[in-house]
Amino acid sequence: MTWHPAPIDPVPDPWPQWGLSLRTPRLSLLPDDDAGLLELVRLVHRGVHPAEAMPFQVAWSDADPRYVGRGMLQHFWSQRAVVSPELWSLHFLVWFDGCVAGVQSMTAERFGVLREVETGSYLGREYQGRGLGTEMRAAVLTFAFDVLGAVTARSAHLGDDGASARVSRRLGYSDDGTALVAPRGEPVTVRRLLLRPEDFVRPEWELDVTGYTPELAGLLAADPPA
């Protein structure tokens, strides 16, 4: 007698976002991995903003240099630990000329119902002033609207954060109110911004998306791959 075992169903991909990539003419946006995060830590130690300025709502970059890298890793690891269809974060490491130039994040809560994402990002100082901030945010917005099926995207910047404000204006955001924060102990105005697909100033280039699978769509509660 010849025995033929029954076919075994393939094991579902337990972490489908690691296969995702977004590519623009100059950049590759890849979900954070530990090796890339170590490169990001080195970038932050070289500087992501002038010492006298604070562009972040939480002053994490003011931490003791001995511990800021550990805090960064703990933050990204904690974000991975809670990913679910109800609450998720995609933290894309931004690769430029073979190096990590920054990070572009996109988060959502109850995306399957609300269809809304929020973005945040930063670049190393040596990569600023080249239009990369606009390019990387345009990449995740294109992905959010055209692939995931988002209907709104939110962002925010501190009142004196000129670079982030300029990127938002270029891409078509409208004002959506203000709030107060105190990252360094003094009140600072946060300007909230809103973008809808019909107002998005789309880039002239085409976004290349690979690794968007049914498993990833299910994790994000998003539209399935076409």
Residue 92's nearest CA partner among 165, 157, 18, 172 is 18
User: What residues form DSSP beta bridges with 22?
Assistant: 29, 209
pLDDT in tens, 156-203: 999 866 889 999 999 999 999 999 999 999 999 999 999 999 999 999
Q: State mean pLDDT over 118-130.
A: 97
Q: Which domains does the chain have, with CATH numbers?
A: 19-220 (3.40.630.30)
Alpha-carbon torsion 172, 209, 9, 81, what sign? negative
Q: Is the pTM of this model over 0.85?
A: yes
Name residue 71's amino acid. G
180 within 8 A of 189, measured Cβ to Cβ: yes
What CA–CA distance (Å, rounded) separates 30 from 143? 13
The stretches of the chain forming alpha helices (DSSP H) are 34-46, 65-81, 111-114, 132-142, 162-171, 214-220
pLDDT in tens, 9-22: 578 889 999 999 99
Name residue 188's amino acid. V
Q: State mean pLDDT over 215-220.
A: 96
